[in-house]
Amino acid sequence: MILVLKPGAPEQQKQELIRHIEGMGLRIHESVGEGTTILGLVGDTSRIDSYIFSSYEIVKNVLRVSEPFKRANRMFKPDDTVIDVCGRKIGQGYFVVISGPCSVESEEQIVGIARELKKAGASFLRGGAYKPRTSPYSFQGLGLEGLDYLKIAKQETGLPIVSEIMSTDVLDRFIEDVDIIQVGARNMQNFVLLKELGRTNKPVLLKRGLSATIEEWLMSAEYILSEGNENVILCERGIRTFENYTRNTLDLSSVLAVKRLSHLPVIVDPSHGTGRYWMVEPMSKAAVTLGADGVIIEVHNNPKFALSDGEQSITPKKYAHILPALRKYCEIENKKLEA
Ligand code: PEP
Ligand code: MN
């Protein structure tokens, strides 16, 4: 349930209403937008007669929110969320390009790629230190050593870091060294991990689960938001369908759905979404056109020899060609490419 307040509602009357709501055992999510204040009620409101609140002088409207996600709901917060990470904005009129190798393989590799990305105009550096691989015999990532190398790459280039966390054991290190913590598709419903991240104020990049519905994905965002962390960025990375020409089916329509349902920024991963390097550029352009707030692209110095996801990785040279094209698309869509 949400209460839309009349413009200029006196503070004292608002506090009185808030006390009433909290006295009923409900929590409040307040959103102050241009000209309107919305009080979102969190808790079981199913048996509450909306008249209780509509009888207040300062209440303009009482609306029921039928979706199970509340804090992530656009009804709770009509304005787009904009998240500032190291001076780069994500959401609304801004577009970010996060790029880098699937896995951090060595100091030389990550620093070398980071330098080329920086030159081309990237916004963030991605690199996996902990890799969720289907086979236990595949490369599992360098772990903390990988984080050390990412830190060096950041020192060298100034690019903020995005990296995936798989366990709460290393959360302190991630909070210290990583600028955006990625939750991978396989952990989208690791609720213990989501709650822990919710108790921090670190930006979280929440990837859509392998077969997750849009509602399940938003409910996972709700886990983080409900613990108090409002810095959630959603990432569409393709879902499993009957089709196997591509690695996944990149569900670009979810960008439109999420934009309508939620105020949270949403970015697109054309690399995992297709599994094919030559689809990365057109899918990235489509993402800009659909109103996505960014893309995350895998770039490798030598894709044939990459320790993971080489077949979907583009070279730095190709990347340097894609970026100016994306910048043009951003101009058409009135978005600023953050770098
Ligand atoms: C990745 O970003 O390298 C990754 C493993 O992504 P996803 O969780 O989307 O499969
Ligand atoms: Mn990958």
Taking the centre of ligand 1 as the mean of its atom positions, its distance from the CA of residue 36, in whole angstroms, is 39
Taking the centre of ligand 2 as the mean of its atom positions, its distance from the CA of residue 172, in whole angstroms, is 23
Would you state the pLDDT for residue 109? Answer: 98
> Would you say 98 and 134 are in contact if contact means Cβ atoms under 8 Å apart?
no
Domain assignment of residue 166, given as a range: 83-337
The protein residue whose alpha carbon is closest to atom 4 in ligand 1 is 184
Report the alpha-carbon distance of residue 11 to residue 59 in Å, rounded. Answer: 13
Tell me if 101 CB under 6 Å of ligand 1: no
**3-state secondary structure at position 234:** strand
> Would you say 112 and 315 are in contact if contact means Cβ atoms under 8 Å apart?
no
Report the alpha-carbon distance of residue 293 to residue 95 in Å, rounded. Answer: 5
174 and 48, same domain (yes or no): no
147 and 285, same domain (yes or no): yes
Q: Is residue 98's pLDDT more than 90?
A: yes
Domain assignment present for residue 233? The answer is yes
Q: Both tokens of residue 265?
A: 């920024």
> Number of folded domains in the chain?
2
Q: Both tokens of residue 213?
A: 């519905």
Q: Is residue 46's pLDDT more than 90?
A: no
Would you state the pLDDT for residue 233? Answer: 99
10 and 110, same domain (yes or no): no
Tell me if 208 CB under 6 Å of ligand 1: no
Report the alpha-carbon distance of residue 277 to residue 166 in Å, rounded. Answer: 26
Q: Is residue 215's pLDDT more than 90?
A: yes
108 and 227, same domain (yes or no): yes
Taking the centre of ligand 2 as the mean of its atom positions, its distance from the CA of residue 83, in whole angstroms, is 24
Probe ligand 1: pick from 133, 183, 217, 237, max atoms within 8 Å of CB? 237
Name the nearest CA neighbour of 81 among 332, 276, 263.
Answer: 263
Q: Is residue 34's pLDDT more than 90?
A: no
Q: Is residue 35's pLDDT more than 90?
A: no
Tell me the mean pLDDT in the region 265-288.
98
Taking the centre of ligand 2 as the mean of its atom positions, its distance from the CA of residue 234, in whole angstroms, is 17
Report the alpha-carbon distance of residue 319 to residue 85 in Å, rounded. Answer: 23
**Range of weakest confidence among 44-53, 180-189, 281-290:** 44-53
Taking the centre of ligand 1 as the mean of its atom positions, its distance from the CA of residue 160, in whole angstroms, is 18
The protein residue whose alpha carbon is closest to atom 9 in ligand 1 is 185
Tell me the mean pLDDT in the region 102-112.
98
Name the nearest CA neighbour of 180 among 164, 203, 150, 208.
Answer: 203
- Report pLDDT digits (tens) over 124-157: 999 999 999 999 999 999 999 999 999 999 999 9
Probe ligand 1: pick from 139, 272, 308, max atoms within 8 Å of CB? 272
Domain assignment present for residue 68? The answer is no
Would you state the pLDDT for residue 25? Answer: 94
Taking the centre of ligand 2 as the mean of its atom positions, its distance from the CA of residue 39, in whole angstroms, is 40
Q: Taking ligand 2, which is a single-atom ion, which protein residues have CB atoms under 5 Å away?
A: 102, 309
User: CA of 149: how far to CAs of 119, 145, 190, 332, in Å?
Assistant: 19, 6, 27, 37
Tell me if 209 CB under 6 Å of ligand 1: no
Q: Is residue 320's pLDDT more than 90?
A: yes
Domain assignment present for residue 137? The answer is yes
Q: Is residue 33's pLDDT more than 90?
A: no
Tell me if 132 CB under 6 Å of ligand 1: yes
> Per DSSP, which regions of the chain are E strands?
2-5, 27-32, 37-42, 59-63, 83-85, 88-90, 94-100, 124-126, 161-165, 180-183, 204-207, 232-236, 266-268, 294-298, 336-338
Name the nearest CA neighbour of 230 among 8, 19, 40, 36.
Answer: 40
Name the nearest CA neighbour of 181 among 162, 168, 200.
Answer: 162
> Domain of 279: which CATH number?
3.20.20.70
Name the nearest CA neighbour of 268 among 296, 231, 299.
Answer: 296
Q: What is the mean pLDDT of the chain?
A: 97
114 and 148, same domain (yes or no): yes
Is the pTM for the entire model greater than 0.75? yes
Q: Both tokens of residue 191?
A: 């609720």
Would you state the pLDDT for residue 36? Answer: 87
52 and 172, same domain (yes or no): no
Name the nearest CA neighbour of 306 among 135, 141, 86.
Answer: 141
> Would you say 313 and 300 are in contact if contact means Cβ atoms under 8 Å apart?
yes
Q: Is residue 224's pLDDT more than 90?
A: yes
